[in-house]
Chain A
Amino acid sequence: MTDSAQPPIQRMTYLPVSKAKAGMRLAAPQVVTEHGVLRMNLPLGHVLTDINLEQLRAHHADVVCVYLPDLRTEAERALARVREETYLKHVFLLADQQQPLIKNLYQAVLRYRGL
């Protein structure tokens, strides 16, 4: 767990709408269109309600982007980085790891994982 004096870092996280819960705060505007018609438009920072979630499901929204607390300690984050790098090195074992594209993709995955 994090130090109680420090509020946990809020990480932008994409979730299937089925896993979103009322009270979560949007980390990106939620715009739903169907056949070019705007059906819903919830702004960045909006706190989701049960009614919002029901409407999102009714309009077939598939994913929401919300803030979730990153409760990992520094040690846990360091361990996660080692695990991710080990995985990526295995995946790219037979690739040209000096190729700029591969390097950029490697770094992009680490950034995405918040590592």
Chain B
Amino acid sequence: MVTKLSHDEILTKAPQLPAFPAVVSHILQTLDDDNASLGDLVSYIERDPVITAKVVAAASTVGLRGHHPVHLGDVYTATSMIGLTRLRALVLQTSLLQFVGQQGVLHFWRHSVAAGVCAQELARFTAGHSQSHLDFAWVAGLLHDIGHLWLCRFYPLEFQIAIQTADAGLMPLIDAEKFHFGMDHAQVGRVIAEHWQLPSCVVNAIAQHHQPHQGVTDKLVAVTHVAEVLTNVLNVGRRHGNQVTYLSPAACAVLHLDFSGDMQQLFGRIEARSEYAIEVFR
């Protein structure tokens, strides 16, 4: 069955997804703010008991693993020991797991976390990126496939058929999605990201993660596209049906990325960090 999705239908159904965690929106608003205070962020985290519990547990594991176990009792103590940057990463990852967990599609979460790590490492590897760029890369990687989540939630049967078509090698997944829905998951993701009022750079990265515009100059778009490719090639998210149909020369050029050079450090860090992130939050 062929369905033609519309912008309005996507927006009408988007509220039926679980509420996008408010703390994520808050973090996104503070990424560019060097004066963002830890206390302010903690006050947001503490509004969500599930995230609070997970952040404290993760902080204990990440920050204090060793010979002297310490039991952290509150978010402020935990966060002050792990620092603002790591706290943002922990909260984003934990929030997305909680959000995705309600959909019962944890394989989506594994791929997303791996892509987030991959995007951040690429941004670091290709240099010239400030801490806020690394944070945006992490967010864009985590959320790049949010359109998949929408399709999977509201059209599970048709989405499964599209996946099987791609798995059989008949056509790329985005073409199969366009055939079945009239648009692909990157376009669906763009509509949702705009609806959530995510920063425009993140919206662009989500919209173009499979097919950056020719002559792309936006580094976040380039990083997210190449991160998606590397996540699949290195199989770091352990997702069935990984596929790469296109690698943009323009995106690689923007990042000055040359795969004939030494990739040991980039690939090694991506695998090690992804493995650890997925293990800690499983």
Residues of A participating in the B interface, judged by any CB pair closer than 8 Å? 12-16, 18-19, 28, 34, 50, 53-54, 57-58, 60, 62-63, 65, 87-88, 90-96, 99, 101-102, 104-105, 107-109, 111-112
A15 to chain B, nearest CB (A): 6
Interface residues of B (CB under 8 A from A): 62-67, 82-83, 86, 169, 171-172, 229, 232-235, 242-247, 249, 252, 258-260, 263-265, 267-269, 271-273, 275-276
Please tell me if the beta carbons of A91 and B243 are within 8 angstroms of each other in the complex: yes
Give the complex CA separation of A16 and B169 in angstroms: 35
Offer 26 A-B interface pairs, CB within 8 angstroms, sorted by A.
A16-B273, A28-B265, A34-B83, A54-B66, A58-B66, A60-B82, A65-B265, A65-B268, A90-B242, A91-B232, A91-B242, A91-B243, A93-B243, A94-B169, A94-B171, A95-B244, A95-B246, A99-B247, A101-B252, A102-B244, A102-B247, A105-B233, A107-B260, A108-B259, A108-B260, A108-B267
Q: Looking at chain A's contact residues, is the secondary structure mostly helix, strand, loop, or mixed?
A: helix
**Given A60-B83, A93-B243, A94-B245, A109 contacting B234 (CB threshold 8 A):** yes
- Whether B243 and A94, one on each chain, are in contact in the complex, defined by CB atoms closer than 8 angstroms, is yes
Q: Out of A15, A19, A65, A104, name the residue touching B259 (CB < 8 Å).
A: A104
Query: How many whole Å from A34's CB to the nearest CB in chain B?
Result: 8
Question: Shortest distance in angstroms between B226's beta carbon and chain A's nearest beta carbon?
Answer: 10
CB within 8 Å: A-B pair count? 92
Chain B CB within 10 Å — which of A87, A95, A99, A108 has the most? Answer: A108
Pick from A18, A58, A65, A102: contact of B276, CB under 8 Å: A18
Which among A57, A90, A91 is the interface contact of B65 at CB below 8 angstroms?
Answer: A57
Bound-complex Cα distance A99 to B268 (A):
25
**Bound CA–CA A109/B247 (angstroms):** 15
Q: Which residues of B contact A14 (CB under 8 A)?
A: 265, 268-269, 271-272
Instruction: Note all chain A residues with C-beta closer than 8 A to B64.
Output: 57
Q: Given A14-B268, A112-B263, are A95 and B245 also a contact pair (CB < 8 Å)?
A: yes
Using Cβ atoms and an 8 Å threshold, which residues of chain B touch A57? 63-66
A92 lies within 8 A of B244 (CB): yes
Q: State in angstroms the CA–CA spacing of A29 and B82 once bound together.
A: 23
Q: Within 8 Å CB of A102, what residues of B?
A: 244, 247
Bound complex: CA of A40 vs CA of B276, how far in Å? 22
Q: Which of A63, A95, A99, A111 contacts B273 (CB 8 A)?
A: A63
CA separation between A13 and B16, bound complex, in Å? 44
Tell me if B244 and A16 are in contact (CB < 8 A).
no
CA distance A93 to B13 in the complex (A): 34
Smallest beta-carbon distance A44→chain B, Å: 13
- Give chain B residues whose Cβ lies under 8 Å from the Cβ of A15: 272
CA distance A111 to B244 in the complex (A): 19
A112 touches B268 (CB 8 A): yes
CB <8 Å contact, A112 and B264: yes
- Report how far A112 CA is from B267 CA in the complex, Å: 7
B234 touches A16 (CB 8 A): no
Q: Are B275 and A16 interface neighbours, CB within 8 A?
A: yes
